[in-house]
Amino acid sequence: MKQFQIVQDKEIMAEVAANYIFSAFQKSQKFILGVATGSTPKKVYEVLAKKFRETSADLSKMFCVQLDEYLGLGLKDSRSFAAYIQKYIVKPWGLKKSQILFWDGDCQNPAGEVDRFNSILSHLGGIDCQILGLGLNGHIGFNEPGSLKESRCREVVLTQETLQNNKEDLAGGKIPTDALTMGIADILKTKNILLLVSGNHKQKSFERFLKEEPSPQFPATFLKGHADLVVMVDKSALSDSR
Ligand code: GLP
């Protein structure tokens, strides 16, 4: 782990994380950003949009890679992560669709979709910064408990726990059972990882992340072996025992 930063709350986290990403973006000639969805990074994307606007940033050098997706949910389904990226990143930042590597959740052939995604990912030459949230059961992307350190982009079966935790976001249509995700090995290959943890519902999970040895039982623990991992946590996600 390179850096461990405790911030006051989610708002400050958004500012600090956005500054961090913005500064890395400014220094690079081409910037490949791995984007997680979920509630944690929403505000980060919003603050970044403001920064890009105010500085008239040259976003032609930006390319984003979608971390994971529900199988069966395409871009047109508002519950999909692709729709989230469209709403919170593509539109407000003013990116072209060609600047995003989307998962096609609506594909008919998941194995073929994994091959397509993998082949584009390997041609990109490495993600510069991967933003991650922490799943309550330790998942990162959709690498659920049991995922190996060597795991690659693939189709996964979602746990009941994750489906239960994400049920509000999935309301209004057929509930997916599977997902497509970058693997742990793909995530660990990225140059820099920014793990964002916010909210008191994350206390137990964050405690496990800190205390447990790297293992498939709590996949986020594998991140601790990455040389350029930055962990940002807000005070509400820290348990009283610390
Ligand atoms: C979800 C997604 C992840 C996300 C994580 C945390 O299930 N698969 O991409 O990062 O869980 O989500 P949140 O930020 O809403 O807590």
Ligand 1 closest atom vs CA 142: 8
pLDDT recorded at residue 1: 65
pLDDT digits (tens, 9 = 90+) for 181-203: 999 999 999 999 999 999 999 99
Give the residue, out of 134, 155, 159, 218, with the most ligand 1 atoms within 8 A of its beta carbon, to mutate for a pocket test.
Answer: 134
Ligand 1 closest atom vs CA 132: 10
* Catalytic residue numbers, as ranges: 68, 137, 139, 144
pTM above 0.95, yes or no: yes
pLDDT recorded at residue 107: 97
pLDDT recorded at residue 9: 97
Which residue has the CA at smallest separation from atom 11 of ligand 1? 135
Q: Where are the beta strands (DSSP E) in the chain?
A: 3-7, 31-35, 62-66, 68-70, 100-101, 129-133, 154-157, 178-181, 192-197, 229-234
Ligand 1 closest atom vs CA 166: 7
> Residue 237: CB partners within 8 Å, gap ≥ 6?
197, 198, 199, 200, 202, 203, 206
CA atoms of 193 and 224, how far apart (whole Å): 10
> Residue 146: CB partners within 8 Å, gap ≥ 6?
216, 217
Q: Phi/psi zone of residue 38: left (φ > 0), alpha (ψ -120 to 50 degrees), beta?
A: left
pLDDT recorded at residue 15: 98
Which residue has the CA at smallest separation from atom 7 of ligand 1? 135
Give the residue, out of 139, 163, 166, 201, with the most ligand 1 atoms within 8 A of its beta carbon, to mutate for a pocket test.
Answer: 139
Pocket of ligand 1 (CB under 6 A): 36-40, 67-68, 133, 135, 141-142, 162, 166
CA atoms of 162 and 139, how far apart (whole Å): 9
pLDDT recorded at residue 241: 44
What stretches in the chain show pLDDT beneath 70? 1, 240-242
CA atoms of 170 and 70, how far apart (whole Å): 10
Give the residue, out of 37, 144, 234, with the most ligand 1 atoms within 8 A of its beta carbon, to mutate for a pocket test.
Answer: 37
pLDDT recorded at residue 2: 79
56 CA → ligand 1 middle, Å: 30
Phi, psi of 12 (to 5 degrees): -65, -40
Which residue has the CA at smallest separation from atom 12 of ligand 1? 38
pLDDT recorded at residue 226: 97
106 CA → ligand 1 middle, Å: 20
